[in-house]
Protein backbone atom coordinates (compact mmCIF):
# COMPACT_ATOMS: atom_id res chain seq x y z
CA UNK A 1 0.00 0.00 0.00
CA UNK A 2 1.31 3.43 -0.96
CA UNK A 3 1.00 6.10 1.70
CA UNK A 4 -0.28 9.53 0.78
CA UNK A 5 1.74 11.22 3.49
CA UNK A 6 5.52 11.50 3.46
CA UNK A 7 6.06 13.58 6.61
CA UNK A 8 8.61 15.65 4.67
CA UNK A 9 6.45 18.76 4.97
CA UNK A 10 5.95 18.45 8.71
CA UNK A 11 8.71 21.03 9.18
CA UNK A 12 6.80 23.62 7.14
CA UNK A 13 8.70 23.02 3.91
CA UNK A 14 7.65 21.67 0.54
CA UNK A 15 9.48 20.22 -2.42
CA UNK A 16 10.25 22.04 -5.65
CA UNK A 17 10.04 20.42 -9.06
CA UNK A 18 13.42 18.84 -9.85
CA UNK A 19 14.74 19.07 -6.30
CA UNK A 20 15.17 21.45 -3.46
CA UNK A 21 12.82 22.51 -0.72
CA UNK A 22 11.34 25.82 0.30
CA UNK A 23 9.05 27.17 2.98
CA UNK A 24 5.34 26.59 2.52
CA UNK A 25 5.07 30.33 3.29
CA UNK A 26 7.22 31.22 0.26
CA UNK A 27 5.32 33.54 -2.14
CA UNK A 28 6.02 31.09 -4.99
CA UNK A 29 4.16 28.37 -3.13
CA UNK A 30 1.26 30.76 -2.39
CA UNK A 31 1.11 31.51 -6.12
CA UNK A 32 1.12 27.82 -7.02
CA UNK A 33 -1.67 27.42 -4.45
CA UNK A 34 -3.74 30.04 -6.29
CA UNK A 35 -3.19 28.19 -9.56
CA UNK A 36 -4.30 24.99 -7.81
CA UNK A 37 -7.46 26.77 -6.60
CA UNK A 38 -8.19 27.82 -10.16
CA UNK A 39 -7.85 24.21 -11.31
CA UNK A 40 -10.41 23.20 -8.68
CA UNK A 41 -12.81 26.02 -9.58
CA UNK A 42 -12.61 24.94 -13.22
CA UNK A 43 -13.34 21.40 -12.02
CA UNK A 44 -16.56 22.70 -10.46
CA UNK A 45 -17.47 24.43 -13.72
CA UNK A 46 -16.75 21.26 -15.68
CA UNK A 47 -18.72 19.07 -13.26
CA UNK A 48 -21.73 21.38 -13.44
CA UNK A 49 -21.59 21.80 -17.23
CA UNK A 50 -24.77 20.55 -18.91
CA UNK A 51 -24.07 21.83 -22.42
CA UNK A 52 -21.95 20.57 -25.29
CA UNK A 53 -19.37 17.94 -24.28
CA UNK A 54 -16.76 19.85 -26.29
CA UNK A 55 -16.94 22.65 -23.73
CA UNK A 56 -16.38 20.23 -20.86
CA UNK A 57 -13.35 18.94 -22.77
CA UNK A 58 -12.12 22.53 -23.20
CA UNK A 59 -12.43 23.10 -19.45
CA UNK A 60 -10.39 19.94 -18.84
CA UNK A 61 -7.77 21.21 -21.29
CA UNK A 62 -7.65 24.52 -19.41
CA UNK A 63 -7.16 22.65 -16.14
CA UNK A 64 -4.23 20.82 -17.69
CA UNK A 65 -2.81 24.11 -18.95
CA UNK A 66 -2.85 25.40 -15.39
CA UNK A 67 -0.85 22.35 -14.35
CA UNK A 68 1.81 23.46 -16.84
CA UNK A 69 1.79 26.95 -15.32
CA UNK A 70 2.10 25.50 -11.80
CA UNK A 71 5.01 23.28 -12.83
CA UNK A 72 6.75 26.23 -14.49
CA UNK A 73 6.35 28.26 -11.30
CA UNK A 74 7.25 25.47 -8.86
CA UNK A 75 10.47 24.47 -10.58
CA UNK A 76 13.78 24.71 -8.79
CA UNK A 77 15.18 27.82 -10.55
CA UNK A 78 18.54 26.10 -11.10
CA UNK A 79 16.81 23.24 -12.94
CA UNK A 80 14.64 25.17 -15.45
CA UNK A 81 16.54 23.57 -18.35
CA UNK A 82 14.81 20.30 -17.44
CA UNK A 83 11.32 21.68 -18.08
CA UNK A 84 9.54 20.27 -21.13
CA UNK A 85 7.74 22.70 -23.46
CA UNK A 86 3.97 22.42 -23.13
CA UNK A 87 4.29 19.84 -20.34
CA UNK A 88 6.05 21.68 -17.53
CA UNK A 89 7.16 24.82 -19.39
CA UNK A 90 4.67 27.42 -20.59
CA UNK A 91 5.11 28.20 -24.30
CA UNK A 92 3.73 31.01 -26.52
CA UNK A 93 1.66 28.51 -28.53
CA UNK A 94 -0.45 27.89 -25.44
CA UNK A 95 -1.28 31.61 -25.29
CA UNK A 96 -2.06 31.70 -29.02
CA UNK A 97 -4.43 28.76 -28.54
CA UNK A 98 -6.38 30.67 -25.87
CA UNK A 99 -6.57 33.73 -28.11
CA UNK A 100 -8.00 31.67 -30.97
CA UNK A 101 -10.64 30.19 -28.66
CA UNK A 102 -11.59 33.63 -27.33
CA UNK A 103 -11.91 35.04 -30.85
CA UNK A 104 -14.07 32.12 -31.94
CA UNK A 105 -16.45 32.36 -28.99
CA UNK A 106 -16.80 36.14 -29.20
CA UNK A 107 -17.46 35.90 -32.96
CA UNK A 108 -20.32 33.46 -32.26
CA UNK A 109 -21.54 35.10 -29.03
CA UNK A 110 -20.77 38.84 -28.93
CA UNK A 111 -20.32 40.28 -25.44
CA UNK A 112 -22.81 42.77 -24.04
CA UNK A 113 -21.11 46.11 -23.25
CA UNK A 114 -22.10 46.09 -19.55
CA UNK A 115 -20.62 44.97 -16.25
CA UNK A 116 -22.46 41.94 -14.93
CA UNK A 117 -23.19 40.42 -11.55
CA UNK A 118 -21.90 36.81 -11.72
CA UNK A 119 -24.03 33.83 -10.81
CA UNK A 120 -26.93 33.48 -13.21
CA UNK A 121 -26.31 29.72 -13.17
CA UNK A 122 -23.79 27.30 -11.64
CA UNK A 123 -21.43 26.90 -14.60
CA UNK A 124 -21.16 30.65 -15.20
CA UNK A 125 -20.71 31.27 -11.48
CA UNK A 126 -17.95 28.67 -11.24
CA UNK A 127 -16.27 30.08 -14.36
CA UNK A 128 -16.33 33.55 -12.81
CA UNK A 129 -14.89 32.13 -9.61
CA UNK A 130 -12.10 30.48 -11.61
CA UNK A 131 -11.51 33.78 -13.44
CA UNK A 132 -11.03 35.71 -10.20
CA UNK A 133 -8.66 33.09 -8.82
CA UNK A 134 -6.65 33.15 -12.06
CA UNK A 135 -6.47 36.95 -11.79
CA UNK A 136 -5.12 36.60 -8.24
CA UNK A 137 -2.50 34.12 -9.44
CA UNK A 138 -1.56 36.54 -12.22
CA UNK A 139 -1.08 39.38 -9.69
CA UNK A 140 1.02 37.09 -7.53
CA UNK A 141 3.24 36.11 -10.49
CA UNK A 142 3.75 39.79 -11.32
CA UNK A 143 4.66 40.46 -7.69
CA UNK A 144 7.18 37.60 -7.80
CA UNK A 145 8.82 39.34 -10.74
CA UNK A 146 8.90 42.63 -8.81
CA UNK A 147 10.67 40.77 -6.00
CA UNK A 148 13.37 39.67 -8.43
CA UNK A 149 12.20 36.05 -8.60
CA UNK A 150 12.62 34.23 -11.91
CA UNK A 151 9.25 34.34 -13.64
CA UNK A 152 8.53 33.19 -17.19
CA UNK A 153 6.78 35.94 -19.15
CA UNK A 154 4.70 33.26 -20.87
CA UNK A 155 3.15 32.31 -17.51
CA UNK A 156 1.98 35.89 -16.91
CA UNK A 157 0.60 36.17 -20.43
CA UNK A 158 -1.09 32.78 -20.22
CA UNK A 159 -2.83 33.64 -16.94
CA UNK A 160 -3.90 37.01 -18.33
CA UNK A 161 -5.37 35.44 -21.46
CA UNK A 162 -6.93 32.58 -19.50
CA UNK A 163 -8.83 35.02 -17.29
CA UNK A 164 -10.12 36.70 -20.46
CA UNK A 165 -11.23 33.34 -21.82
CA UNK A 166 -12.95 32.43 -18.55
CA UNK A 167 -14.82 35.74 -18.65
CA UNK A 168 -16.00 35.01 -22.19
CA UNK A 169 -16.97 31.45 -21.27
CA UNK A 170 -18.87 32.65 -18.20
CA UNK A 171 -20.86 35.15 -20.26
CA UNK A 172 -21.61 32.47 -22.85
CA UNK A 173 -22.66 30.01 -20.13
CA UNK A 174 -24.91 32.65 -18.57
CA UNK A 175 -26.71 33.31 -21.85
CA UNK A 176 -29.27 36.06 -21.34
CA UNK A 177 -29.33 35.40 -17.59
CA UNK A 178 -26.51 37.80 -16.70
CA UNK A 179 -27.76 40.61 -14.52
CA UNK A 180 -26.27 44.06 -15.31
CA UNK A 181 -24.29 45.56 -12.43
CA UNK A 182 -26.47 48.67 -12.38
CA UNK A 183 -30.10 49.30 -13.30
CA UNK A 184 -29.65 52.44 -15.40
Q: Where are the domains of the chain?
A: 26-177
State whether residue 121 is helix, strand or coil.
coil
Residue 184 pLDDT more than 60?
Answer: no
> 21-70, pLDDT tens digit by residue?
999 999 999 999 999 999 999 999 999 999 889 999 999 999 999 999 99
Write 142-146 long-range contacts (CB < 8 A, 24+).
143/27, 144/27, 144/28, 144/31
d(CA 135, CA 160) in angstroms, rounded, equals 7
* pLDDT of amino acid 183: 58
Q: What percent of the chain has pLDDT over 70?
A: 98
Mean pLDDT for all residues in the chain: 93
The fold adopted by the segment(s) 26-177 is Hypothetical Protein Ta1238; Chain: A; (1.20.1200)
> 149-164, pLDDT tens digit by residue?
988 999 999 999 999 9
* pLDDT of amino acid 86: 95
What are residue 117's DSSP bridge partners? Answer: 179
Amino acid sequence: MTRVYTRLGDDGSTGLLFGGRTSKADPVIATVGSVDEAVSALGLARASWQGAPETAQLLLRLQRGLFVAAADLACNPRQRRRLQPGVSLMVPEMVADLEAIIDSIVADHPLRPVFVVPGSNLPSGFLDLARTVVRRAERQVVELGHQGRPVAADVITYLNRLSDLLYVLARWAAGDGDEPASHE
